[in-house]
Amino acid sequence: MDSSSDLGFDYQPDLPVPISVVGGRYLIFDVKIATYLRREHRICGAQIGTLPLAPSQNVFLGMPAEIMPEEAQLLVERGVAYILDEARAHDQALHSAEKTRRDDYLASIEQQSREFEEARSQEKEQARQRALKKQSQKSAKCSVPRENSTATNLLDFEDSDEHGNASTDVPGVVATDRSNSQASASTAVPSNLSAANTVQITPATSELLLPIPPSTPRPAIKDLPPSYPLYRHLHDKGYFTTPGLRFGCQYTVYPGDPLRFHSHFLAVGAEWDEPIDLMNIVGGGRLGTGVKKGFLLGGASPAGDVRTFSVEWAAM
């Protein structure tokens, strides 16, 4: 029930991780893997999934996260990920005679369900103990004799704890008399979890059903744009790079995480001998200056080196 562990802030996956290809788009379905790629490899992606309770909203999207072909190629080249044909892999897994993998998949879901139920019971027990402690502190400070004071329900204190989410119903906890509830609070032990009360887990990914990743991943991205060398060059320099459609460029370049920094460059890649219209350079320079960014042009030489040029529009 720890949010940091649920989102995978300290998660270290087994490499390589799968990048699913669905309809020619490269998707990450596991939120922990998406968090890991952003933290360790500066791959942000764009969330394209809608929330189950608000399918028509388009402001706060969720998983899966879509990444650019350039990002997928970079991860594959460096052995961090491999490309997985989602439809073919699931079809093979569902029709496979390998019953062991399916049994392991179902067992892992049941294990997650048990762990969630145990964590929820522990959280309720902790809330109950906090309520008992708060009641004892309040009783100690109260100058009115206990027999003359109005009886207070212990459950009212549970609802007013600092988290505000303590439940009045504490399933699986041994009931105790109010007179000795404080003494027995530390010894109350949750009873065995019944199968009827077990939370049913719906996994967000079916990774365990999929084939084992290849031992020697190979670059498998076809039809990469000519700007890929520029993207790889900027990534090697430590920049975060996101799609630049909103600014009329190919990449928006950030010096750090886009959640903390404004972008510094509007980047456009080109081949070494590709002719470039001068008006495009002027327009890019004016646009970049207008939004307080630099206009960056770059490309790879025949030797493989990448050169970049920054254009800024300045008044005479």
Whole-angstrom distance, CA of residue 28 vs CA of residue 68: 11
Q: What H or E segment, with its residue span, contains residue 118?
A: helix 99-141
User: 26, 36, 251, 254: which one is catalytic?
Assistant: 254
Rounded CA gap, 295 and 309, in Å? 8
pLDDT value at residue 176: 44
pLDDT the model gives residue 183: 43
Fold of the domain built from segment(s) 225-316:
Trna Endonuclease; Chain: A, domain 1 (3.40.1350)
Q: Are 210 and 90 in contact (CB under 8 A)?
A: yes
Pairing mode, if any, of strands 251-254 and 240-243? antiparallel
């999934």: which residue's tokens? 49
**Pairing mode, if any, of strands 46-49 and 62-67?**
antiparallel
SS3 184: helix
Catalytic entry in 124, 235, 264, 293: 293
Taking only the tens of pLDDT, the chain with its 316 residues reads 455 555 557 788 888 898 989 888 999 998 899 999 999 999 999 988 876 676 666 667 888 999 999 999 999 999 899 888 887 877 777 676 567 777 777 888 888 888 888 888 899 999 999 999 888 888 887 755 555 444 445 445 445 444 444 444 444 444 444 444 444 444 444 445 445 556 777 766 666 666 666 655 565 677 788 899 999 999 999 999 999 988 889 999 999 999 999 999 999 999 888 898 889 888 888 888 888 999 999 999 988 899 999 988 876 4
Helices 69-77 & 228-236, crossing angle to 10 degrees? Answer: 60
Q: Is 292 in the active site?
A: no
> What confidence score (pLDDT) does residue 197 get?
58
pLDDT at residue 243, as a whole number: 93
User: Can you give the pLDDT at residue 224?
Assistant: 87
CB atoms within 10 A of CB 184: 13
Catalytic annotation present for 262: yes
What per-residue confidence (pLDDT) applies to 239? 95
Burial of 241 (0-12, 13-18, 19+ CB in 10 A): buried
Catalytic annotation present for 105: no
